[in-house]
Amino acid sequence: MIRAVLGGTASRLRTLLIFAAIVLMHGCSRSDRPATAQAPMPTLPATSVLTTPVAAPDSALAALGRQIFFDTSLSASGQQSCATCHSPDHAYGPPNSLAVQMGGPKLDRQGMRAVPSLRYALNHTPVWSKAFVSSMAERVLEGDEPPVGGFGWDGRFNTLHEQAAFPLLAPNEMANRDAAEVVDRIRHATYAPDFKRAFGADIFNDPERAFQQMLRAIERFELEDASFHPYDSKFDFYLDDKVSLTPQEQRGLALFNDPQRGNCASCHLDRPGADGSHPLFTDYQFEALGVPRNREIKANANAGYFDSGLCGPLRKDQASQSQYCGMFKTPTLRNVARRQVFFHNGRFHSLREALRFYVQRDTAPQRWYPLGPNGIEKKFDDIPPQFRRNVDVVDLPLTLSKGQAPFWNDSDIDDVIAFLETLDDGYELNRSISGEVGQP
């Protein structure tokens, strides 16, 4: 309930208004907080792990999971592992500027979505849910509050082991026929003896069980290995008072936070938690931002095809929830400056363009969307017309109209980029401190 009331999105604002009406009706005033206020970290299920980096060495299962994660022989092409798309040198994100990666037996089949980074978010992702405030309010709010959590841009997997089966079997990714084929490849892998040691000498006689154990090993690696959450960005050292931000980085941070001029932190949370845990720059909630259609994705040549995120076609269980069409999960912004593709459809290839889109989507729509026959730009052209009303138009900076001055000019954008670069991992504390003294 708190989450639904205090967030900063279109549906959250609606929720706030309706909820405020309900509490007034009931004669108590609970929520006078503006919808743009910094939202708290979402409540995590009891099984979640804290942010403190794991000092202990990985368990045997995680060590096995590491071998599996990097094993290209587990794909039909023989050339693709999890790490091919989730490159450890790129914060477990894509190693190139392709909007979507190629896969399949001949590596000639296009993916549907941009590869997300696997750093930081995984061990904090809540299971997918849509929260209701109460049974009475539920009737008013049915379907109107922002859903949260789950893995994938559409949140369709609740656990990492469920998720891991998808790329192994997807015809345009690692393209195995079935679980038995994957297990057969493991049987021939160099680490097959480790696999038997972990799960029993006869494990390969039961392919379904072997497959499930393999998925759990991948999950343990993703949750335990310190390389998924190093917390060694300049911003982390800044939070620990070990380094200060430059004036430009500070200006960028202030714009990122400012509810009147940027408001980014209302969804990309950037305050430490009560337990001192460092922020992850996501609230795991879903939004429709109206990112323009991307012609680099071949499926988009079919004018009737739309990737509508939460309501399908990849995700099936929310297909009837038309108010969710066009919504995707808020990604972490840690290491975002290292990416070469942005948003779920990889429409933008530089951080500058991604930020310009935020502040000019509504002030200069002709820049982002194609013109219709009437000479008016077709706004939100990657969402079916009947669902374009789902797009967020109430959260700053997405609130302006054509011809108005955007909230940020180019120099503001430079400042925010400078700030976002402080979220890159691998900051060398000592070298940079001594380096900064002598340099302008």
**Binding residues for ligand HEC, per CB under 6 A?**
8-9, 80, 82, 84-86, 101, 103, 111, 113, 115-116, 118, 121-122, 151-154, 160, 163-164, 167-168, 173-174, 218, 262-264, 266-268, 287, 289, 291, 314, 328, 330-331, 333, 336, 339, 342-344, 354-355, 358, 392, 395, 397, 416
Shortest distance (Å) from residue 146 CB to ligand HEC? 9
Shortest distance (Å) from residue 437 CB to ligand HEC? 30
Buried/exposed 369-400: b ≥16 CB within 10 Å, e otherwise:
beeeeeeebbbbbbbbeebbebbbbebbbbeb
Shortest distance (Å) from residue 219 CB to ligand HEC? 8
Tokens of 359: 């502040």
Shortest distance (Å) from residue 131 CB to ligand HEC? 17
Tell me how crowded residue 34 is: count the other CB atoms within 10 A of its CB: 12
- Residue 196 or 352 having the CB closest to ligand HEC: 352
Cα gap 57→64, rounded to integer Å: 13
Asked if 44 contacts 273 with a C-beta cutoff of 8 angstroms, the reply is: no
- Residue 86 or 90 having the CB closest to ligand HEC: 86
Shortest distance (Å) from residue 26 CB to ligand HEC? 28
The SS3 assignment for 244 reads coil
- Residue 151 or 427 having the CB closest to ligand HEC: 151
The SS3 assignment for 105 reads coil
Kind and range of the H or E element at 136?
Answer: helix 135-141
Buried/exposed 133-143: b ≥16 CB within 10 Å, e otherwise:
beeebeeebee
Cα gap 360→406, rounded to integer Å: 6
- Residue 236 or 395 having the CB closest to ligand HEC: 395
Shortest distance (Å) from residue 433 CB to ligand HEC? 27
Cα gap 146→128, rounded to integer Å: 11
- Residue 399 or 434 having the CB closest to ligand HEC: 399
- Residue 110 or 432 having the CB closest to ligand HEC: 110
Shortest distance (Å) from residue 209 CB to ligand HEC? 18
- From residue 229, how far is each of 55, 79, 122, 424 by CA, in Å? 11, 27, 9, 12
- Residue 9 or 133 having the CB closest to ligand HEC: 9
Q: If you search the block for the tokens 């070298």, which residue do you land on?
A: 431
- Residue 116 or 231 having the CB closest to ligand HEC: 116
Asked if 333 contacts 354 with a C-beta cutoff of 8 angstroms, the reply is: no
Cα gap 220→60, rounded to integer Å: 9
Shortest distance (Å) from residue 121 CB to ligand HEC? 5
